[in-house]
């Protein structure tokens, strides 16, 4: 291989590397597909799941609580970095004895720490969920 061929190979490899770096760097932090999930157990054994997913510059957030008992009313709150972004009530429904809350949140600058709490007055059960969504 002569020196002009080696130089051409080196230049080509460098150009390819720069092109790949530019392509990867061009993807926004809120690109579709970025998703975080967490799950756990509430204070009296019910199950919770919390999901946060990138959606066109916003964060699609969904909380699901499954008690296996229909008719339980829960007070629910969602916070993003400590700021209350939604509160309301949900009642578990048949056949699964679960409820869900889905909200589209503003993607704040930096990392978003999304917390959800759900409490039912009938039994005192409390569910506390957290996900960290990289910004």
Per-residue pLDDT of the chain (135 residues; tens, 9 = 90+): 554 444 443 333 333 333 323 323 323 344 457 899 999 999 999 999 999 999 999 999 999 999 999 999 999 999 999 999 999 999 999 999 999 999 999 998 899 999 999 999 999 999 999 999 997
110: left (phi over 0), alpha (psi -120 to 50) or beta: left
Residue partners of 92: CB distance under 8 A and separation at least 6: 65, 66, 67, 69, 70, 71, 72, 74, 98, 99
Residue 34: closest CA among 11, 51, 15: 51
Could you tell me if 73 and 88 are in contact, meaning their C-beta atoms sit under 8 angstroms apart?
Answer: no
Evaluate if pTM is beyond 0.85. no
- Distance (Å, whole) CA 79 – CA 133: 13
């Amino acid at each position: 291989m002569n020196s002009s061929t080696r130089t051409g190979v080196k230049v080509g490899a460098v150009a390819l590397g720069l092109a790949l770096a530019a392509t990867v760097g061009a993807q926004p932090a809120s690109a579709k597909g970025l998703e975080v999930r967490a799950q756990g157990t509430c204070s009296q054994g019910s199950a919770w799941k919390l999901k946060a997913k990138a959606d066109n510059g916003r964060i699609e957030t969904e909380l699901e609580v499954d008690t296996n008992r229909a008719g339980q009313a829960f007070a629910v709150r969602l916070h993003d970095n400590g700021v209350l972004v939604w509160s309301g009530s949900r009642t578990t429904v048949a056949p699964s004895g679960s409820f869900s809350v889905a909200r589209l949140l503003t993607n704040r600058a930096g990392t978003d720490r999304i917390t959800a709490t759900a409490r039912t007055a009938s039994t005192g059960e409390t569910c506390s969920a957290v996900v960290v969504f990289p910004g």
